[in-house]
Structure 1
Amino acid sequence: MSGSQPRVLVVEDEAAQREVLSYNLEAEGFAVSRAENGEEALLLVEEDAPDVILLDWMLPNVSGIEVCRRLKMRPATRHVPVIMISARSEEVDRVRGLETGADDYVIKPYSVIELMARVRAQLRRTRPSSVGVVLEYDSLVLDSETHKVTRAGRAIKLGPTEFRLLTTFMEKPGRVWSRDQLLDRVWGRDIYVDTRTVDVHVGRLRKALCQFGDDDLVRTVRGAGYALG
């Protein structure tokens, strides 16, 4: 799996529903993780937060509402968008779902096309590059569809790894990324790469961005990792 592929966690206790959702998400180019109950979902998110969570309301033991509440209480997972899926169409249920922190609420039976559009809408907020948005920071402009980068109007040539690194930094300027987080995001979590490789590629990225004598925008945070700006 490529580290730049957005990952969606599907939390659904009915196997058939879970498979239909997973199949459609994979067909749209998403990487999919699956959980069949609330406890499993919470563990998976703690290990490695996905980009979007599709969460069924009616789950055995820990309900979807409770899973959502716990995720939104924790600073580490608060930012992950949750789309609640429910057979409950009453307005009071919808309100309760949104009040618990759900970012969107979809009623069963739903249209798969509409659900995919809603997943992309959440990604536009949290991982803009994955839906082809142009990112800008300072005098840097990155076009995720054409894979072009310019700084102050001058073209910057980057290798695929440096491009993914810069994309990650530009999606969340100021956020400090640890080497392990960058490995997951840029190289993919299934690939074994030494953390020193991250330093090498950050060095190459810095060199490319500063080739015209501009300031270094990538900051090394001692003992923590790297950040943009």
Structure 2
Amino acid sequence: MRVLVVEDERTLARYLAEGLRGRAMSVDVAHDGTTALDMLTSDTYDLVVLDRDLPGTPGDEVCRQLIAAGGRTRVLMLTAMAEVGERVTGLRLGADDYLGKPFDFEELVARLDALGRRSQPAVPPVLRYGDVALDWSQRQASRDGRPVVLSNKELGVLAALMTANGAVVSAEELLRGVWDEHADPFTNAVRMTMHRLRAKLGEPWVIETLPGAGYRMAGLPC
């Protein structure tokens, strides 16, 4: 999943970004509402973690404009204003969920996972393709019942390919969805990650390379 963290407290923003990247999510960061709107206009995100109290454009207005523009992006409001009235106001603006500060990081991850499953098309908690399974909530993969230990990037790439359900996913799409906005478009990171992922999943190979097009899961899904 690709996540935009909009938080003006830089220490907290860095903590969130590093923690979510550690859960195999692709994370970009904005420190004010105006920058967030620019990023949301120019790129696509599955989820936004949005602080209400932002410099520049307020978080409420960011939410309002994002919802008005349509699209699939889900919004989790994260703010110190945790009273019931404030939560109701945030939800009525169009936010999908609301979490007050201070918060438990594991709860935040669980809420983001749940929002990701509510996106269109919905993503089930356990992805399956042939004899490959990926439990996204636990970040655990297996093949034919055998556990396969994967890095965060490998998990993200496998999730993107399995979600595509046999359709081709380009290297550019993988860079955008699994890495972040700072990824070098000329890097060989995708190719090297794909090489390691194939080796860990073992033979017969379950990931095909289509020269000039991208990658896809081989064979038929379950």
Task: Kindly indicate whether residue 58 of structure 2 is the aligned counterpart of residue 68 of structure 1.
Answer: no
Aligned partners of 1:9 and 1:33 also within 8 Å:
yes
Structure of higher CA gyration radius: 1
1:28: Cα distance to partner? 2.5
What CA distance in whole angstroms lies between the structure 2 residues aligned with 1:26 and 1:182? 15
Report what 1:41 is aligned to. Answer: 36
What CA distance in whole angstroms lies between the structure 2 residues aligned with 1:183 and 1:34? 16
Alignment of 1:10-159 (within 5 A): 10-75=5-70, 78-126=71-119, 128=123, 133-135=126-128, 143-144=133-134, 146=141
Q: When the two structures are superposed, what TM-score results if normalisation uses the length of structure 2?
A: 0.63
Q: When the two structures are superposed, what TM-score results if normalisation uses the length of structure 1?
A: 0.62
Aligned partners of 1:11 and 1:34 also within 8 Å:
yes
CA RMSD of aligned residues (A): 3.8
Aligned partners of 2:7 and 2:13 also within 8 Å:
yes
Runs of 4+ with deviation above 4 angstroms:
145-149, 162-166, 177-183, 185-189
What CA distance in whole angstroms lies between the structure 2 residues aligned with 1:200 and 1:49? 20
Task: Kindly indicate whether residue 185 of structure 2 is the aligned counterpart of residue 191 of structure 1.
Answer: yes
What CA distance in whole angstroms lies between the structure 2 residues aligned with 1:169 and 1:29? 17
Quickly say closer, same or farther: Cα 1:110–1:74, change in 2 above 3 A: same
What CA distance in whole angstroms lies between the structure 2 residues aligned with 1:110 and 1:187? 26
Quickly say closer, same or farther: Cα 1:57–1:164, change in 2 above 3 A: closer
AA matched with 1:167: M
1:190: Cα distance to partner? 3.6
What CA distance in whole angstroms lies between the structure 2 residues aligned with 1:19 and 1:182? 23
Quickly say closer, same or farther: Cα 1:147–1:107, change in 2 above 3 A: same
What CA distance in whole angstroms lies between the structure 2 residues aligned with 1:146 and 1:163? 9
What CA distance in whole angstroms lies between the structure 1 residues aligned with 2:215 and 2:17? 33
What CA distance in whole angstroms lies between the structure 2 residues aligned with 1:165 and 1:88? 35
Aligned partners of 1:134 and 1:141 also within 8 Å:
no
AA matched with 2:133: D
Q: Unaligned regions of 5+ residues in structure 1, if any?
A: 1-5, 150-159, 211-216, 218-229
Aligned partners of 2:4 and 2:30 also within 8 Å:
yes
* Equivalenced residues, count: 181
What CA distance in whole angstroms lies between the structure 1 residues aligned with 2:214 and 2:28? 30
What CA distance in whole angstroms lies between the structure 1 residues aligned with 2:160 and 2:26? 19
State percent identity of aligned pairs: 33
Tell me the SS of whatever aligns to 2:213.
helix
AA matched with 1:19: R
Tell me the SS of whatever aligns to 2:57.
coil
What CA distance in whole angstroms lies between the structure 2 residues aligned with 1:17 and 1:165? 28
